[in-house]
Structure 1
Amino acid sequence: MSVLAVNDANFGSAIRPSGTTLVEFGARWCPPCKALHPILEELSERYGERLAVIRVDCDDSPETAGQYGVMSMPTVIVFHDGQPVEKLVGLRPRSAYESVLGKYEG
């Protein structure tokens, strides 16, 4: 698995209707977003098929960012069974993301 970049046009189809999807809302120019990318890659590798990890560039996809109330970058939203269930704003340590994902493993 790897991190999939999506945009306004294909965001809806990238969210898993069942299971867990982690979405990072960021931008190419955002230093904390760049620091988050290796963490997302590690999570994608660790969870494999159990987790979809996608990335949305807010500059390229303002509609989707606005729909989910993204005001700061990076913002990570965890979707479970197609619904947003957790929102983490700002760069966090990997353990914070693992803790949230742990609630939805099953």
Structure 2
Amino acid sequence: MDLKDQLKNLFPDHKETLEPKVEKSNVWLQNEPILCKYEKRKGKPITILDGYNGATQDFKILAKEIKKTLSVGGSFKDDKIIIQGDYRDKIMAMLKEKGFKVKRVGG
């Protein structure tokens, strides 16, 4: 006997209601494409995302999501996302999937 059956026994008059799933949609404001740059700092490769025009909080959420998806380190400084390593192709695919315009810069 599972939990639903037990609840039906306790409350026979109760009718089960289905709650509609509400998807969380992020509104990203963007006029120009996001620039995806590749640089080397102290001999280590990094990927820099720059040129976002929306809210800073949304860009921070995007940075966290990219770092979590790619399982890499990075930071958010001066309205730029800095990701450790050369992940331009993967990041550009992720951003295009979300509806961003992305432009590859350098190399």
What is the TM-score when the length of structure 1 is the normalising length? 0.30
RCO (CA 8 Å, sep 6+): is it higher in 1 or 2?
1
Taking structure 2 as the reference length, the TM-score comes to 0.30
Say which structure is richer in helix: 1
